[in-house]
Amino acid sequence: MIDFEYTAPTQLDDAISQLSEAGDRARILAGGTDIIVQLREGLQSADLVVDVKKIPELTQFEFTAGQDLQLGASVPCWQVYENSEISAAYTALTDAVHIIGGWQIQSRASVGGNLCNASPAADSIPALIALDAVAHIAGPAGRRTVPASEFCTAPGRNVLEKGELLVSLTLPAPGPHSGSAYQRFIPRNEMDIAVVGAGSYVRLDSDGQKIEQARIALSAVAATPVFAEEASNWLAGQPISEDVFAEAGELAKKVASPIDDMRGPAEYRTHLVGVLTRRTLATACERART
């Protein structure tokens, strides 16, 4: 690994100025489970590594008055799934962070880092998109927000400009009669990269008979995790049934343009979109009803 300078600012402004100054040569370190590997393998290089785990805004999480979750960007996976309030409200996210790497990875890897790493196969991103999360970005020009669905721009690339960093994510309160789920397909049962991942969120009517709103997002089927808009919109007003889930799965396939690689052939991945969309919708509806 080529050596670099390391800094661990305690103030957001300091981080922004350090990042701005180093420009392209700076990399952000949160849990380090991706960036350290990439630096070591020469996939990335840096003159400056900015550790953001000492900045309070990035390490905290809280529920706002409106019951939205404000999740600091460097909060590690384990804090998400071990928090009973978060794991009750945002089950899709909990599903995802519980299977990112093994336990050792979850001790360090952050949800924000998983988003910033912008892997097409990231586990938490479909969950964030399904849960309609919004990313809060701070930089030299001030603050801005970007929906999670628009945060990634290409494999390994995101919307962050020079000097910017992800501060936190807002996950809207899921609302009554709602449920969500994330599932991925992997050949092993753990320690694997998604062949396809799917996150689904549903809000049902008060009788729990019909879907009022749905959001489906997919990973590992395009250059970035994608929101399956048509399938999501179509679900609004549909009754809860296996046929409906299957139809949504067919519609979700429309946004899938996967590649053939060692993790799975394209045709198989497209097929899995249907399977996982159906399965996550079923789980999300079941959770919404209980």
Q: Give me the residues that bind another protein (CB under 8 A), please.
A: 1-6, 8, 29, 32-33, 36-37, 39-41, 49, 51, 53, 78, 101-105, 107-108, 185, 187-193, 195, 261-265, 268, 271-272, 275
Question: Whose Cβ is closer to another protein: residue 118's or residue 195's?
Answer: 195
Smallest gap from Cβ 166 to another protein, in A, equals 19
Backbone dihedral region of 121: left (phi > 0), alpha (psi from -120 to 50 degrees) or beta?
Answer: alpha
Smallest gap from Cβ 55 to another protein, in A, equals 14
Question: Whose Cβ is closer to another protein: residue 36's or residue 173's?
Answer: 36
In angstroms, the CA 238 to CA 229 distance is 15
Cα of 243 vs its chain's centroid, Å: 28
In angstroms, the CA 120 to CA 269 distance is 13
In angstroms, the CA 71 to CA 58 distance is 8
Smallest gap from Cβ 285 to another protein, in A, equals 19
Question: Whose Cβ is closer to another protein: residue 5's or residue 21's?
Answer: 5
Smallest gap from Cβ 96 to another protein, in A, equals 15
Question: Whose Cβ is closer to another protein: residue 33's or residue 280's?
Answer: 33
CA atoms within 13 A on the CB side of 273: 31
Question: Whose Cβ is closer to another protein: residue 63's or residue 78's?
Answer: 78
Smallest gap from Cβ 49 to another protein, in A, equals 6
Smallest gap from Cβ 269 to another protein, in A, equals 9
* Contact assessment for residue 163 and residue 140, using Cβ atoms and an 8 Å cutoff: yes
Structure tokens at 39: 């630096």
Question: Whose Cβ is closer to another protein: residue 7's or residue 180's?
Answer: 7
Smallest gap from Cβ 37 to another protein, in A, equals 5
Could you identify the residue written with the tokens 């701005």?
20
Q: Which of 275, 227, 226 shows the shortest CA–CA distance to 250?
A: 275
Name every residue whose Cβ is closer than 8 Å to that of residue 236 and which is 6 or more positions away in sequence: 211, 212, 213, 214
Question: Whose Cβ is closer to another protein: residue 189's or residue 206's?
Answer: 189
* Contact assessment for residue 179 and residue 202, using Cβ atoms and an 8 Å cutoff: yes
* Contact assessment for residue 181 and residue 283, using Cβ atoms and an 8 Å cutoff: yes
Name every residue whose Cβ is closer than 8 Å to that of residue 232 and which is 6 or more positions away in sequence: 214, 215, 216
